Amino acid sequence: MASFLALLFIITIFTVSLFLLRKSRYRRLRLPPGSLGLPFVGETLQLISAYKSDNPEPFMDQRVNRYGSIFTTHVFGEPTVFSADPETNRFILLNEGKLFDCSYPGSISNLLGKHSLLLMKGTLHKRMHSLTMSFANSSIIKDHLLVDIDRLIRLNMDSWTDRVLLMEEAKKITFELTVKQLMSFDPDEWTESLRKEYVLVIEGFFTLPLPLLSTTYRKAIKARTKVAEALTLIVRQRRKESESREKKDMLGALLASGDNFSDEEIVDFMLALLVAGYETTSTIMTLAIKFLTETPLALAQLKEEHDQIRARSTDPDAALEWTDYKSMAFTQCVVNETLRVANIIGGIFRRAMTDINIKGYTIPKGWKVFASFRAVHMNPDHFKDARTFNPWRWQSSNSEVVNPGNLYTPFGGGPRLCPGYELARVVLSVFLHRFVTRFSWVPAEEDKLVFFPTTRTQKRYPIIVKRREESKPSSTQ
Ligand code: HEM
């Protein structure tokens, strides 16, 4: 008993001294105001509980009201400076690689692989980022991706009847599209079994990277190995045939780039691209439908826009043309507003490479920073009635958002600007076109949005769909 009390005493003294030491070191620097919370856990539990609800705003609102738009907190085991300030966010984004480095949790880094674009740094990152951009830009989308996007979306929707888990279906579509774009494969059993392994890999992102303690992480590592093996076989196969058959896909571009990438480099690169577009694009597809369902006036206007495009052709299944996409003016307002309100990527973590002075404060070297896009997008000082879904705010006649500048950053910015931003917009627009012209629908049950560990609806948004021609009264009646 005496030795237990002595141990308890030592632990208490150690913890208190650590806490005081930490406080006095930070007091010497001009840190942004805030609270580091409890020793070790900091304010992690408050953050998680806010973001696990459908209204995470109070976590930021309370701290911004108390300390201002740049404040210090302590989350996920580290002191972190949070920014809800658009100028500071821009500064962080633009100084990537100079003052700040990207920073992902160990589980994500291990599962992605060291050659993934998300983890690359320096000149190689620059080169690979521009290669990726060149592969998802508007002329490539116009020249050949649009046809595949439209075809695969229709193919998937052909089998939808009655109750549909929209989030699941959207994920399937997005995965198939990315596989097609990367290596020209049409969906089949191979694609679906690869997707199942992917789901396991992604589940591992949000666990501790400790195989002995976490079954989910162990399964994710196993699945990652399987995915890498499957992709390696494809790369090797393509190397053999690359001289005779030049395919217009990402893998072809990598092999023809003259950079002599190894199999491992190409596999890591493709694996990460499949992850980056998968959750994000499918979630935005689902949430666009959810927000429209809850805003009938916007839905009616959107339907009208798309019915008019359909009316231009006698064939209801005629492929969409680039000019059709370009004529979807209100759809672009819906896309912008969905991205603003949903905040699929609510912000980005970086690590300070040196002591950084900003707005009169110091961010100490080695500290994490979090540039919160969400806090800016949801701030009524920047967007009128910010917490309401209002696609009309994006209409060119509306003076509110003529030039949103640094205020609107759903795809980030600077050297790590999302290379899939244009592609995601086209996929979402085509999906909305086919969805509203083919179906009427009602939610099958209440479903709630949550924002941790990722933005999603709790029940994968179940809906009951009805083909529009079925719901129309027959002309002979
Ligand atoms: C609605 C859909 C999407 C959203 C909201 C989104 C958002 C973002 C954001 C905010 C970043 C910046 C991350 C950072 O600065 O650390 C990013 C990076 C990235 N995105 Fe997207 N993205 C979407 C779709 C896509 C698609 C379809 C692709 C596939 C081509 C893609 C590929 C990537 C890649 C590879 C990166 C890493 C870039 C780098 O680190 O250099 N994204 N995305």
Q: 242-290, pLDDT tens digit by residue?
A: 554 566 789 998 988 888 899 999 999 999 999 999 999 999 999 999 9
Residues 6 or more apart whose CB falls under 8 angstroms from that of 42 comprise: 36, 73, 74, 75, 77, 79
Residues 6 or more apart whose CB falls under 8 angstroms from that of 455 comprise: 283, 287, 342, 343, 344, 346, 449
Write 362-365 long-range contacts (CB < 8 A, 24+).
362/29, 362/30, 362/31, 363/31, 363/32, 363/81, 364/26, 364/29, 364/31
CA distance 117 to 106: 16
pLDDT for 117: 94
Cβ(169)–Cβ(435) below 8 Å:
no
Residue nearest to ligand 1 atom 43, measured at CA = 418
pLDDT for 477: 30
Q: Is there a cis peptide before residue 453, judged by omega within 30 degrees of 0?
A: yes
ipTM rounded to 2 decimals: 0.99
Ligand 1 neighbourhood includes 152 CB (under 6 angstroms): no
For residue 244, the CA-to-ligand 1 centroid distance in Å is 33
Q: Nearest CA to 27 among 72, 76, 77?
A: 72
Percent of the chain clearing pLDDT 90 (strictly above) = 78
Cβ(188)–Cβ(291) below 8 Å:
no
- Looking at residue 207, its amino acid is T
Residues 6 or more apart whose CB falls under 8 angstroms from that of 411 comprise: 339, 345, 417, 418, 421, 424
Residue stretches of the annotated binding site for heme: 418
pLDDT in tens, 363-384: 999 999 999 999 999 999 999 9
Ligand 1 neighbourhood includes 410 CB (under 6 angstroms): yes
Helix-strand-coil split of the chain, %, nearest 5:
55, 10, 30
CA distance 124 to 129: 8
Backbone angles phi, psi at 289, to 5 degrees: -65, -40
* C-alpha triplet 416, 421, 427: angle, nearest 5°: 150
For residue 411, the CA-to-ligand 1 centroid distance in Å is 6
Ligand 1 neighbourhood includes 173 CB (under 6 angstroms): no
For residue 103, the CA-to-ligand 1 centroid distance in Å is 15
Residue 192 tokens, joined: 């679906």
Atom of ligand 1 nearest to the CA of 273: 35
Ligand 1 neighbourhood includes 412 CB (under 6 angstroms): yes
Residue nearest to ligand 1 atom 1, measured at CA = 281
Q: Nearest CA to 275 among 96, 117, 76, 410?
A: 117
For residue 354, the CA-to-ligand 1 centroid distance in Å is 26
* Residues of the chain under the 70 pLDDT cut: 1, 4-5, 15-16, 18-27, 242-247, 399-404, 470-477
Residue stretches of the annotated binding site: 418
Q: How far apart are the first and last CA of the chain?
A: 89
Ligand 1 neighbourhood includes 118 CB (under 6 angstroms): yes
- In this structure, is the dihedral angle defined by the CA atoms of residues 38, 44, 49 and 55, taken in order, positive or negative? positive
pLDDT for 475: 39
User: Residue ranges of the alpha helices (H) in 122-214?
Assistant: 122-135, 138-140, 146-158, 166-183, 189-204
- Looking at residue 32, its amino acid is P
Cβ(82)–Cβ(175) below 8 Å:
no
CB atoms within 10 A of CB 80: 24
Residue nearest to ligand 1 atom 17, measured at CA = 418
Mutation pick for ligand 1 pocket among 418, 423, 425, 429 (CB with most ligand atoms within 8 Å): 418
Atom of ligand 1 nearest to the CA of 96: 15
Q: Nearest CA to 90 among 374, 379, 371?
A: 371
pLDDT for 101: 95
25-107+346-378 architecture in CATH? Answer: 2-Layer Sandwich (3.30)
- The b-or-e profile of 432-450 (16+ CB within 10 A means b, else e) is bbbbbebbebebbeebebe
Cβ(398)–Cβ(383) below 8 Å:
no
The beta-strand segments (E) located in 166-308 are none
pLDDT for 212: 87
Domain ranges within the chain, ordered by starting residue: 25-107+346-378
Residue 325 tokens, joined: 């996409």
Cβ(71)–Cβ(61) below 8 Å:
no
Q: Nearest CA to 293 among 429, 432, 168?
A: 432
Backbone angles phi, psi at 151, to 5 degrees: -65, -45
Ligand 1 neighbourhood includes 97 CB (under 6 angstroms): no
